[in-house]
Structure 1
Amino acid sequence: MPRLESPARPTGLAVFLILAGVIGLAAAFTLTLDKLHLLADPNAQLSCSFSVLIGCATNLSSPQGNIFGFPNSLIGVMGWSVVITIGAAILAGARLARWFWIGLNVGMTGAIALVIWLIAQSIFVLDILCPWCMVTWAVTIPAFLAVTFYNLKTGSIPAPESVRRVASVAYAWVPLITLGCFIAVAIIAQLQMDVLNRL
């Protein structure tokens, strides 16, 4: 069994979780308001709708935007509120138990799985990009990477020493890895949707 480290308080991770949470919460809250506007007036012109390629209405009105029978944005409102709270608790000096870190990673894994599915649906099925959805994608990806690499390098997630060393290095490179993910999504969107010619 790999040993579990007792690292110094991860202040950087805490600050990042708070910032990512605030951005994600703002996006989710705005999407929720837009959904309410659509429910009140299906023909409402939303502030995030710019063209046939960039807009929110199609996503919000589609089955993909309500996969559990209610707007996906409500999941974001709840989830990002939890992330902000966890970040603030760490910053305040809380030492989270191993099970808590694993629970956070499970939540982040669920979030990234949902985001990957929604990205695929937006690009390959709906053929439209939702601005506020993309903001959510942009913070979920690095949040998942940061939490996962941190848990691997500290031993909260049991892993061989070699994996922990790789995770320790990768943790320092989360911004660059995230940028690589953004570029990959942009390339896929361009190849499938011809984004540049439709803007």
Structure 2
Amino acid sequence: MPSPSRTSRPTVFALWLIFAGVVGWFAAFQLTTERFHLLENPGSAASCDISLLVQCGKNLESAQGSVFGFPNPILGLTGWVAPIVVGAALLAGARFARWFWVLFGLGVTAAFAFVLWLISQSIFVLATLCPWCMVTWSVTIPTFFAVAVHLVRVGALPVSAAARHRADALMAWTPLMAIVAFAIIGVIAQVQLDWISEFTR
């Protein structure tokens, strides 16, 4: 089985990792700032609180907003550095071993699963759409698809050469996969929260 190091430089994939990392980190920074503001000013509103439906405050102050005993955005401040570093390294010509890609993939998968849980909590429990949270969703979901496909196409996972070839062709379809995922989330949110009415008032 060919080593992942023998593949050509994945420029588009690397640029996406950097872009997603920067956007995700910025969203996490904004959420962290909002959380500190709420801690310093109890009872005040966050700057991203637009309405009862579209707001950050309820999410940040909820139990779901501090799953591990500290504000969730701190995970983003640390976690989003990884895609930036990996993307920059790939652009510089770095080649990673299988074990590295597997660990990186596990990290991205964990982030994806956590985001899916937070989406379900936001829609079904908190009944809110957090603006900065949605920015995080918008880069986490396509990053998961892109990394998953990349792991297959570079041979980081034990698959056949034919599967690697199909994955290479599938990479061009990851934006569509993300759009479909966003559409599904949008439909679920509409059925549960009727967000369209909120934005068309």
TM-score (normalizing by structure 2)? 0.94
Give a deviation string over 1:95-128, Cα, whole Å, max 9, x none.
1111111111000000000000000000110000
Distance in 1 between the 2:189 and 2:63 partners?
A: 21
Distance in 1 between the 2:102 and 2:18 partners?
A: 19
Distance in 2 between the 1:178 and 1:73 partners?
A: 22
- Structure 2 residue matching 1:50: 3-state secondary structure: coil
In the alignment, residue 67 of structure 2 is paired with which amino acid? I
In the alignment, residue 124 of structure 1 is paired with which amino acid? F
- Cα deviation, residue 166, structure 1: 3.7
| Identity, % of aligned positions | 48
Query: Which runs of no fewer than 5 residues in structure 2 stay unpaired?
Result: none
Distance in 2 between the 1:19 and 1:133 partners?
A: 17
- Cα deviation, residue 33, structure 1: 0.4
Query: Which runs of no fewer than 5 residues in structure 1 stay unpaired?
Result: none
- Cα deviation, residue 173, structure 1: 0.6
Q: Which residue of 1 aligns with 2:46?
A: 46
Q: Which residue of 2 aligns with 1:97?
A: 97
Q: Does 1:140 align with 2:140?
A: yes
Q: Which residue of 1 aligns with 2:20?
A: 20
In the alignment, residue 158 of structure 2 is paired with which amino acid? P
- Structure 1 residue matching 2:48: 3-state secondary structure: coil
The residue correspondences of 1:149-168 to structure 2 (distance < 5 A) are 149-168=149-168
In the alignment, residue 99 of structure 2 is paired with which amino acid? W
Distance in 1 between the 2:3 and 2:93 partners?
A: 19
In the alignment, residue 100 of structure 2 is paired with which amino acid? F
In the alignment, residue 32 of structure 1 is paired with which amino acid? T
Q: Which residue of 2 aligns with 1:176?
A: 176
TM-score (normalizing by structure 1)? 0.95
- Structure 1 residue matching 2:50: 3-state secondary structure: coil
Total equivalences in the alignment: 198
Distance in 2 between the 1:166 and 1:65 partners?
A: 39
- Cα deviation, residue 57, structure 1: 0.3
Q: Which residue of 1 aligns with 2:115?
A: 115
Distance in 1 between the 2:159 and 2:86 partners?
A: 24
- Structure 2 residue matching 1:173: 3-state secondary structure: helix
Q: Which residue of 2 aligns with 1:73?
A: 73
- Cα deviation, residue 163, structure 1: 3.7
Distance in 1 between the 2:42 and 2:60 partners?
A: 11
Q: Which residue of 1 aligns with 2:192?
A: 192
In the alignment, residue 35 of structure 1 is paired with which amino acid? R
In the alignment, residue 158 of structure 1 is paired with which amino acid? P
- Structure 1 residue matching 2:80: 3-state secondary structure: helix
- Cα deviation, residue 12, structure 1: 1.1
In the alignment, residue 179 of structure 1 is paired with which amino acid? I
- Cα deviation, residue 85, structure 1: 1.1
Q: 1:150 to 1:37 in 2, by over 3 A?
A: same
In the alignment, residue 188 of structure 2 is paired with which amino acid? I
Q: CA RMSD in A?
A: 1.3
Q: Does 1:55 align with 2:55?
A: yes
Distance in 2 between the 1:119 and 1:171 partners?
A: 25
Distance in 2 between the 1:45 and 1:124 partners?
A: 22
Distance in 2 between the 1:47 and 1:27 partners?
A: 13
In the alignment, residue 98 of structure 1 is paired with which amino acid? R
